[in-house]
Amino acid sequence: MRALETIFSRLFVAFKWLSLLVAAGMLVLFVGPLWNKWVVYPRLEEEIMTQRGLYRTPERLIPLESYQGALHAHTYWSHDSRGILEEILPAAKAANVEFIFLSDHKRNALDSFPRSYHGLYEGILFEAGTESNNLMISPLRDVVLDWNIGEGALIRQVVNEGGLALYVHTEVPHDWKNPDYQGMEIYNIHTDFKDEGGKLIGFVANSLVNAGKYRHWAYREIFDEQTEIHALWDSLNQHRKIVGYGAPDVHNNQSIRARYLTDGLVEWVGPNAKTITIRKSNWIDKLLFGNPDEAGWVFKAELDTYFHSFQYVQTHIFADSLHSGSLKDHLVRGHAFVSFESMLDAKGFEYLATDGYGEVLGIMGDEVALADIDRLEASSPYPVKFELIKDGKVIKTSESTYDFSYQPKLPGNYRLTARIPLGGEWVPWVYTNPIYIR
């Protein structure tokens, strides 16, 4: 009897310590997220509202329309996404996205176009494309491509026939000397997410606690400046023009979701859009399920929604019209900049070169002669800190101004970063392509 008592009392002590340990663990895990919810994010939100109050209608000098959108996004056509138009369209509209260049994973070496979504849907332009082996191509025409011919030959074919070939996931090795690819990601959400490592559990806990109105701030917890990739980009541009752009790389697949199939069956879908189970609906389902959303999901706990990814990072392209051909032509010319739109909408931001009469000689991405140029000029709808970067080095900054002006005396590649004040730091908001002074 005494032995039993001893066992019970020991078990009780062990249980007590275990509970304490779990409670301490939960406290450590959720203290940060709750602090963010009650203190940090409301403060950031207030700072951004103050910034928004400083909006100034920008002067328009660039004689082209500007369109903003997503380069690199996945749909149901990829093995690791279930995304359909019914959820992509409202997300795109809410995030001010005007075009989406898709990058679905190919199903076969023989890759046929067009497919899945392409064309205008309620005013939003979709273009079909493939991502494979860290290469993204959009042929922009009816064609069957053969990936077996090898990457170099495929890039050449796509580019020669008027399509687009871009290097994605630029944190991993590529054939940087390939003479035909046109651009590279200088920011990709997934690239940035990969370096979180040990902070991952904290990120998930924070995302759960802040899944509501502060989800865009929780999402931005992954943000790191991609200094190595930018250094690589600058060095590649010493040899030939390589256009930089931003990629949401959205799959909408880091989630647990459920939906009804026919015959009272329920499908539970887990991370990477994989089916967890298909079975008869039971009482637990009925307890958890709500009304179906636009895509038919009756339950969802998700991290990477289309809306938040689209809003996070966008590429603005100065083009003639909202057509794939025009967007592609101008993107390839470097008439583009990257912006982090969950903070502020960058529409109206301009960066250009003028001559002695104040006439526009060229815009971001263009090559201009040193003999002709008088000034590099930029204007922003919000006051920012401009950083002028020549051949990879910051050569001039100006804080809290709407306008920027610089008289270049030397040839080189001049690009701009615009930063906004946030949480006591100057956070990057816009990255332009360089103006190439020769």
Whether residue 75 contacts residue 104, with contact meaning beta carbons closer than 8 Å, is answered with yes
From 7-15, 207-215, 245-253, 282-290, span contacting Zn ion (CB under 5 A)? 245-253
- Retrieve residue 77's tokens: 């056509």
Q: Which is nearer to Zn ion, 111 or 131 (CB)?
A: 131
Give dist(CA 70, CA 79) in Å, integer.
Answer: 20
Residue of this chain nearest to Zn ion (CB atom): 249
Is residue 249 close enough to count as binding Zn ion by CB under 5 A? yes
12 and 20 Cβ atoms separated by less than 8 Å:
no
Helical ranges in 164-316 per DSSP H = 189-194, 200-209, 215-219, 227-236, 283-288, 306-312
131/192 with CB nearer Zn ion: 131
Measured distance CA(318)–CA(331) in Å, rounded: 8
User: Residue 152: which H helix or E strand, with range?
Assistant: helix 151-160
Positions in 180-209 near Zn ion (CB under 5 A): none
Q: Tell me how far, at minimum, the Cβ of 300 lies from Zn ion, in Å.
A: 21
Q: Smallest distance from the beta carbon of 131 to Zn ion, in angstroms?
A: 5
Contact string 116-135 vs Zn ion (x = CB under 5 A): ---------------x----
Q: Return d(Cα 341, Cα 334) in angstroms, integer.
A: 20
Between strands 367-368 and 360-363, the pairing is: unpaired
CB of 114 to Zn ion, least distance (A): 19
- Nearer to Zn ion among residue 88 and residue 352 (C-beta): 88
CB of 189 to Zn ion, least distance (A): 10
Cβ closest to Zn ion, residue 249 vs residue 387: 249
The span of 173-181, 193-201, 243-251, 338-346 binding Zn ion (CB under 5 A) equals: 243-251
- Beta strands 412-422 and 393-406: pairing type? unpaired
In the bound complex, what is the minimum distance in angstroms from residue 99's beta carbon to Zn ion? 17
CB 336 within 8 A of CB 317: yes
Task: Compute how many residues bind Zn ion; rule: CB under 5 A.
Answer: 2
**Amino acid type, 251:** H
**Stretch in the footprint of Zn ion (CB under 5 A) among 20-28, 53-61, 242-250, 408-416:** 242-250
Provide the minimum distance between the beta carbon of 103 and Zn ion in the complex, in angstroms, as a whole number. 5
Cβ pair 339, 428 in contact under 8 A: no
Binding site for Zn ion (CB under 5 A): 131, 249
